[in-house]
Amino acid sequence: MTQKPILSFIINDNEKAAKDAFARGDYLQAFLLIHTLLESLLRMFLNEMDDRTTFAALISKYEQFLNKQNYPIKTLVKELREFNKRRNRIIHELWKKGYSYTNRQAKSASNTALMLYGLSIEFLETWNSEMKRIGFRYT
């Protein structure tokens, strides 16, 4: 079995876990799974496998990619930065106020994360049609 099919199964499993978590009201888990999936998506798109590269650094590398393409409006970069800030706030609230409170407050952020993930896949596909073949398919 090659690496792509194995990766596809892992991605599919995590996408399903995120959908299931949201459906049962585990908004924190759904949000964090989507954060991880978005990080993986960017890593694959940018071919960045150094696990020390942070999510923020991946976003900056993606912005550099768009600059090289002379892409004028970097909406996805802005959304990804806001998403990462939101993740940091959610984690801070989790430590400060506990799981139950933070989970209730994370519903909107989790829903937005699910939408951002799907849109990110579609947008990155415009630059690299391999994204869905690798396994990123969230709809």
- How confident is the model at residue 40, as a pLDDT? 92
Q: Does 91 fall in a domain?
A: yes
Q: Does 20 fall in a domain?
A: yes
Angstrom distance (rounded) from CA 10 to CA 43: 15
- How confident is the model at residue 1, as a pLDDT? 40
Q: Does 139 fall in a domain?
A: no
Q: Which residue ranges of the chain lie beneath pLDDT 70?
A: 1-5, 138-139
Ramachandran assignment for 26, one of left (phi > 0), alpha (psi -120 to 50 degrees), beta (any other):
beta
Angstrom distance (rounded) from CA 91 to CA 15: 21
Q: Does 116 fall in a domain?
A: yes
pLDDT digits over 99-124, tens only?
Answer: 999 999 999 999 999 999 999 998 89
pTM > 0.85: yes
Q: Angle of helix 75-97 relative to helix 55-68, nearest 10 degrees? A: 170
Question: How many domains does one find in the chain?
Answer: 1
With a CB cutoff of 8 Å and minimum separation 6, the contacts of 132 are 121, 125
- How confident is the model at residue 96, as a pLDDT? 95
- Which residue reads 């876990």 in tokens? 17
Angstrom distance (rounded) from CA 5 to CA 109: 31
Q: Does 7 fall in a domain?
A: yes
The CATH number covering residue 96 comes to 1.20.120
- How confident is the model at residue 10, as a pLDDT? 86
Q: Does 63 fall in a domain?
A: yes
- Look up the domain containing 54 and give its range: 3-134
